[in-house]
Amino acid sequence: MPTKGRPAYLSVALHSLARQDIGADAYEVIVVDDEPSAATRELTEHLARDTGAPVAYAERRGPPGLNSARNTGIDVGRASLIVFVDDDVEAPPGWLSELVSGAQRHGEALAFGGPIELRLEGSRLRMCGREAPPITALDAGTADREVDFVWGANMAIDRRATELAGRFDPAVPYGFDEDMWERRLRERGGKIFYIARAGLVHRRDAADARLRALLRESYRRGRKLRAYDEHRGGAPSLMRELRVIAGCAWHTVRHMCGNGILLTAHSAGRLRQALVRNGRA
């Protein structure tokens, strides 16, 4: 679990992982601190002492970023199945056992992931349901199936996958770090499976679920996604970005949809990044 200066989120996530029904001797939780701090270390060690959960602390090795933290977890961990989660998730007690059994059922695959349900705690933002919010979530159906991608907030890899696809690239822009690794895995013959019953929750607490906070996050995520598109050479034109932001604004008005506001902020972030890249801002 990579983390970076968010002890309140981390505490909820760790307590949920400590309650997994798979048995404490069957797994270990490694908190990889991307911005090493005494507070994160103390929280991790305190929970391990109080609950007896198999939780350990490690400082990120290599340059700052999510992929360096993931690589550190791979190095420190001992298991053949490596599971990645974010520090802002909450996992039900049966999540890990479902993920492990799913990996066993689909032995032909090397990477796995499950549903990610977005929970905006205390939010009353109206969403029409036509589009998903620009915040990490995943729903690929109610049955296991092969997919192109799963998200790093709920992802497992067989350790053999690192022999086929290599390690995670620390140079990939922060926020979409697992995407290029998964592309490389598939190009080299590795399969990725969605495990329908291995779901968890991606939380936004009451403060972060306020409209202003959601707008900031949507905008930042838009900039990161555009930077990632540029990094891999697949960024759309400025005209395309303008058409998308206009469509998002129209969606907001037509459907009286709060999510349209978030989508517009996301597109604004993409447009801003495109203008910066082209020297126009």
pLDDT number for residue 171: 82
pLDDT number for residue 234: 85
Tokens of 276: 């910066």
Question: What is the DSSP-derived secondary structure letter of residue 257?
Answer: -
pLDDT band at residue 177 using 50, 70 and 90 as cut-offs: low
Burial (CB < 10 A; 0-12, 13-18, 19+), residue 110, is buried
Tokens of 260: 């349209």
pLDDT number for residue 173: 61
pLDDT band at residue 281 using 50, 70 and 90 as cut-offs: low
Average pLDDT of the segment spanning 184-200? 97
pLDDT number for residue 53: 84
Average pLDDT of the segment spanning 12-17? 95
Q: Is the pLDDT of residue 92 over 80?
A: yes
Which amino acid type is present at position 144?
D
* Cα 271 to Cα 3: distance, rounded to the nearest angstrom: 29
| Strands, E assignment, 104-167 | 111-113, 116-120, 145-146, 154-158
Residue the block writes with tokens 């307590």: 15
Q: Is the pLDDT of residue 79 over 70?
A: yes
Q: Is the pLDDT of residue 152 over 70?
A: yes
Q: Is the pLDDT of residue 181 over 70?
A: yes
Q: Is the pLDDT of residue 175 over 70?
A: no
What is the dihedral sign for C-alpha 216, 169, 144, 25? negative
Q: Which residue did the predictor score with more confidence, 52 or 220?
A: 220
* Cα 30 to Cα 16: distance, rounded to the nearest angstrom: 14
Q: Is the pLDDT of residue 280 over 80?
A: no
What is the pLDDT of the chain when averaged over all its residues? 93
Residues 231-268 pLDDT 10s:
888 899 999 999 999 999 999 999 999 999 999 999 99
SS3 assignment, position 159: coil
pLDDT band at residue 23 using 50, 70 and 90 as cut-offs: confident
